[in-house]
């Protein structure tokens, strides 16, 4: 995919921004900057929406588990927190890898941790450690993270010239 305002120009430069290879067609500098800002290319992990969502979710799980009694924390709580923390941790580790295939692999691990987290949340509900409302809220948040993670995985490694 090429920015519409760059479509019929000759290729002049190849450019890599963070992890994102980009073939730049001849155009004025201002148009290029506007286009890059529009598609939000960044090499900062903190700018990655899926990472922010995963980290926020795992923090919420942490504070919920802190309120449980010792036995619940020691058994189910530790497993739930580790699984929830692993979602964001694997996204971060993949993001920091040099090759996009490694990034994808870590995102697959992240997706596995997400499914594991759902299992622990279901078990917490079954054992009356969280309310029905919290259970639904957590599953809805995980569903959103899951969809966004799948979209992110789909787009890892796609260049601007060869999307999808």
Residue ranges in the chain whose pLDDT is less than 50? 1-2, 6, 9-21, 24, 34, 36-40, 160-164
CATH 1.20.1440.60 in the chain is located at 45-155
Q: Round the average pLDDT of the chain to a whole number and report it.
A: 82
Whole-model pTM: value is 0.72
Residues 6+ apart with CB under 8 A from 5: 27, 31, 35
pLDDT of residue 153: 94
- The hierarchical CATH code for the domain 45-155 is 1.20.1440.60
- Cβ within 8 Å of residue 61, ≥6 positions away: 80, 81, 84, 117, 138
Would you state the structure tokens that stand for residue 8, as one six-digit string? 């019929």
CB under 8 Å to 104, separation ≥6 — which residues?
94, 153, 156, 157
Contact in structure between 142 and 119 (CB atoms under 8 Å): no
């Amino acid at each position: 995919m090429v920015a519409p305002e760059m479509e019929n120009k000759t290729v002049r430069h190849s450019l890599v921004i963070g992890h994102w290879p980009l073939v730049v067609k001849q155009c004025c500098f201002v148009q290029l900057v506007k286009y890059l800002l529009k598609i939000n290319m960044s090499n900062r992990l903190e700018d990655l929406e899926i990472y922010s969502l995963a980290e926020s979710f795992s923090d919420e799980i942490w504070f919920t588990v802190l309120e449980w009694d010792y036995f619940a924390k020691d058994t189910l709580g530790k497993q739930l927190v580790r699984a929830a923390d692993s979602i964001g941790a694997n996204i971060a580790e993949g993001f920091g890898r040099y090759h996009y295939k490694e990034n994808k692999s870590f995102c697959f691990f992240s997706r596995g941790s997400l499914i594991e987290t759902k299992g622990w949340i279901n078990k917490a509900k079954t054992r009356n450690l969280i309310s029905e409302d919290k259970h639904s809220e957590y599953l809805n948040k995980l569903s959103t993270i899951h969809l966004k993670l799948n979209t992110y995985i789909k787009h890892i490694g796609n260049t601007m010239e060869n999307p999808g």
